[in-house]
Amino acid sequence: MGASEHASKQYDLDLDSIRSRVLQMGGLVESQIRRAVEALGSGDRAAMAEVIANDHRVNAMEVELDGDCSQVIVKRQPAANDLRMILAIIKTVTDLERMGDEAQKIARMARSIHERGTPPPPTAVDVRHAAEVVLAMLRRTLDAFARLDCTTAAEVIRDDVGIDSEFQAILRQLITYMMEDPRTISTALEIVWIAKAIERIGDHAKNMAEYVIYIVKGTDVRHTGALTIEP
């Protein structure tokens, strides 16, 4: 009896460790996104270079967490809630890694804009606002994951609609900007890529929120539409 009890405690410790490191990875990704967007506005080349270089840390955390989840599946053969948790974590770390890629992309585009020496178009302000919205979505998603809070997760899923609309508005403004002054086309296109990266970050945050609902309720709410999701 003692051995099985010890094994069960170790199992709980393993799961807690994995969940804790998912949150650590989320914190790193949030920092990467924030620094990339701030560097777009400030022109801080060192910050851009650091974001680009640090992407390997995000990748390494994904690989490590995937490996640990695989070990849990092999050793513990989880069922029911535990299995849903492990499967959701595997998907969550993939979304976090892709967010990290988008942060790196923003930093690369920012570097290109500032190396060219042309000032970003006025819509860069709107891009930074959109970034603040998706960063808030990411923070709330991580909080929902930590507390297994379906209400917050459902709110994040609904919020993604606003980010999609904001991206379309930025795109329309940039098209007008390019038509008025063709010399700005290169910079404006890079701002488009940055805006698209921000929109994708919002999509990944929404995906992660959907996994929280799956963990708690066992319900797959992907592709069902925001209005059908009950908190």
pTM of the model: 0.90
The tens digit of pLDDT for each residue in 190-224 reads 999 999 999 999 999 999 999 999 999 988 777 66
Q: What share of the chain is helix, strand, coil (3-state, %, to 5)?
A: 90, 0, 10
* Non-local CB neighbours of 163 within 8 Å, separated by 6+ positions: 130, 133, 134, 137, 198, 199, 202
Task: State the DSSP string of 108-153.
Answer: HHHHHHHHHTPPPPTTHHHHHHHHHHHHHHHHHHHHHHHHT-HHHH
Task: Quote the pLDDT of residue 229.
Answer: 58
Helix, strand or coil, per DSSP, at residue 159: helix
Most distant CA atoms of the chain, gap in Å: 77
- CATH superfamily, region 9-228: Phosphate transport system protein phou homolog 2; domain 2 (1.20.58.220)
The tens digit of pLDDT for each residue in 157-196 reads 999 888 989 999 999 989 988 898 888 888 899 999 999 9
Question: Which residue ranges make up each domain of the chain?
Answer: 9-228
Query: Taking 90 as the threshold, does the pLDDT of residue 150 lie above it?
Result: yes
